[in-house]
């Protein structure tokens, strides 16, 4: 080992669905050392590897390092959490095993407050942050080991301290971002991922919520004057909740999101897909945590976010009923 040589980072991917499979494959394709935790498709991936069908060009990885559980994985410098937040209850068992002592966690999940929960599992501080990540990937797993990438693939990364404060960009974050960029994944570094997370919630809260509650596509929600107005009312409430957390979302952002969504092809949201598949919904990460965090920080007690609360309650009911737990 030559002093000063920048060592290559070893990546662990927890969750090999569309998101973990796509990003992990992109990293491996440029020669990085990648290790996948795989649940249901373990046997298939061992035999056939990963097939990526992508707008950027299709490719196949006949051999991938896959593991049925973390006990068998090598310890990694960077552990990317790419499973649904509903599986995060497994992380206290997983992370201490798979993460190197000086390793970092990249939380590539939706919603709010997850980095804080993970900060309670792994040691972190300002020189050793939890890295939060927002992915704008449009991809589906269409068969075991077979991922179809439709559009967008960019990522925003930002660091968090143990007490869930955003922080400046570290050299390690820069190195990870370089790896992603080299792998063809446009990656932005930010000193305030919370603002980015709230902006994504402006879209995710109304469309994910209403798509499940009303059994509707984005096109149906935008094509009806009543639900279009409801989407806008909910977006405005998310902007207020962000403001309670000292995050200012620009005034024109709501109209921009509405306009973009009205123009895009009709879309079945990820929460609707989970619902249709009778999988648990990410209600706490996308609705519950933002509500609790914004409410706790609201100095104005009249701010109580009635629409987000209503969606949260409706989804909690439907999620339970949908999984036959009633």
Instruction: Give the residue numbers marked as catalytic.
Output: 200
SS (H, E, C) the chain: CCCCCCCCCEEEEECCCHHHHHHHHHHHHCCCEEEEECCCCHHHHHHHCEEEEECCCCEEECCCEEECCHHHCCCEEEEEECCCHHHHHHHHHHHHHHEEEEEEEEEECCCCCHHHHHHCCCCCECCECEEEEEECCEEEEEECCEEEEEECCCEEEEEECCCCCEECCCHHHHHHHHHHHHCCCCEEECCCHHHHHHHHHHHHHHHHHHHHHCCCCHHHHHHCHHHHHHHHHHHHHHHHHHHHCCCCCCCCHHHHHHHHHHHCCCCCCHHHHHHHCCCCCCHHHHHHHHHHHHHHHCCCCCCCCHHHHHHHHHHHHHHHHHCCCC
**Site pattern 232..271 for a second copy (x: CB under 8 A):** -x--------------------------------------
CA 193 to chain centre: 12
Give yes or no for residue 276 binding a second copy (CB under 8 A): no
Residue 37 and residue 64 in contact, taking contact as beta carbons nearer than 8 Å: no
Give yes or no for residue 29 binding a second copy (CB under 8 A): no
Nearer to a second copy (CB atom), residue 230 or residue 245: 230
**Site pattern 196..235 for a second copy (x: CB under 8 A):** --------------x--xx-x---xx-xx-xx-xx--x--
Nearer to a second copy (CB atom), residue 169 or residue 214: 214
Q: Which range binds a second copy by CB under 8 A, 110-118, 142-150, 151-159, 316-324? A: 316-324
Give yes or no for residue 306 binding a second copy (CB under 8 A): yes
- To a second copy, the closest distance from the beta carbon of 227 in angstroms equals 5
Residue 194 and residue 114 in contact, taking contact as beta carbons nearer than 8 Å: no
- To a second copy, the closest distance from the beta carbon of 233 in angstroms equals 7
* Residue linked to tokens 């992109």: 26
- To a second copy, the closest distance from the beta carbon of 307 in angstroms equals 6
Give yes or no for residue 326 binding a second copy (CB under 8 A): yes
Nearer to a second copy (CB atom), residue 74 or residue 306: 306
Give yes or no for residue 317 binding a second copy (CB under 8 A): yes
- To a second copy, the closest distance from the beta carbon of 229 in angstroms equals 6
Give yes or no for residue 323 binding a second copy (CB under 8 A): no
Nearer to a second copy (CB atom), residue 152 or residue 317: 317
Nearer to a second copy (CB atom), residue 121 or residue 230: 230
In angstroms, the CA 132 to CA 194 distance is 9
- To a second copy, the closest distance from the beta carbon of 137 in angstroms equals 29
Give yes or no for residue 307 binding a second copy (CB under 8 A): yes
Nearer to a second copy (CB atom), residue 160 or residue 312: 312
- To a second copy, the closest distance from the beta carbon of 251 in angstroms equals 20
* Residue linked to tokens 């935790």: 37
Give yes or no for residue 303 binding a second copy (CB under 8 A): no
What is the contact surface with a second copy in residues (CB under 8 A)? 210, 213-214, 216, 220-221, 223-224, 226-227, 229-230, 233, 302, 306-307, 309-310, 312-314, 316-318, 320-321, 326
């Amino acid at each position: 080992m030559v002093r000063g040589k920048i060592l290559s980072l070893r990546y662990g991917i927890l969750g090999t669905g569309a998101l973990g499979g796509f990003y992990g494959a992109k990293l491996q394709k440029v020669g990085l050392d990648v290790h996948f935790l795989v649940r249901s498709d373990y046997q298939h991936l061992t035999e056939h590897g990963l097939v990526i069908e992508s707008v950027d060009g299709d490719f196949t990885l006949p051999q991938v390092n896959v593991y049925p559980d973390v006990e068998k994985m090598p310890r990694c410098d960077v552990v990317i959490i790419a499973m649904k937040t509903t599986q995060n209850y497994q992380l206290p068992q997983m992370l201490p095993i798979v993460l190197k002592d000086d390793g970092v966690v990249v939380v590539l999940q939706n919603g709010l407050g997850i980095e804080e929960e993970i900060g309670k599992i792994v040691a972190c501080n300002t020189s050793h942050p939890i890295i939060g990540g927002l992915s704008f990937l449009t991809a589906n797993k269409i068969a075991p080991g077979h991922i179809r990438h439709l559009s967008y693939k960019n990522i925003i990364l930002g660091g968090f301290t143990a007490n869930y404060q955003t922080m400046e960009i570290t050299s390690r974050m820069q190195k990870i971002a370089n790896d992603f960029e080299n792998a063809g994944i446009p990656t932005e570094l930010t000193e305030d991922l919370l603002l980015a997370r709230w902006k994504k919630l402006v879209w995710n809260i109304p469309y994910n919520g209403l798509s499940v509650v009303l059994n509707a596509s984005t096109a149906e929600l935008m094509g009806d004057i009543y639900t279009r107005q409801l989407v806008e009312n909910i977006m405005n409430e998310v902007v207020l909740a962000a403001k309670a957390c000292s995050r200012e979302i620009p005034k024109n952002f709501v109209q921009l999101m509405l306009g973009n969504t009205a123009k895009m092809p009709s879309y079945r949201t990820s929460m609707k897909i989970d619902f249709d598949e009778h999988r648990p919904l990410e209600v706490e990460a996308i609705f519950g945590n933002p509500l609790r965090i914004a409410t706790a920080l609201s100095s104005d007690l009249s701010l109580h976010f009635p629409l987000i609360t209503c969606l949260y309650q409706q989804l909690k009911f439907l999620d339970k009923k949908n999984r036959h737990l009633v």
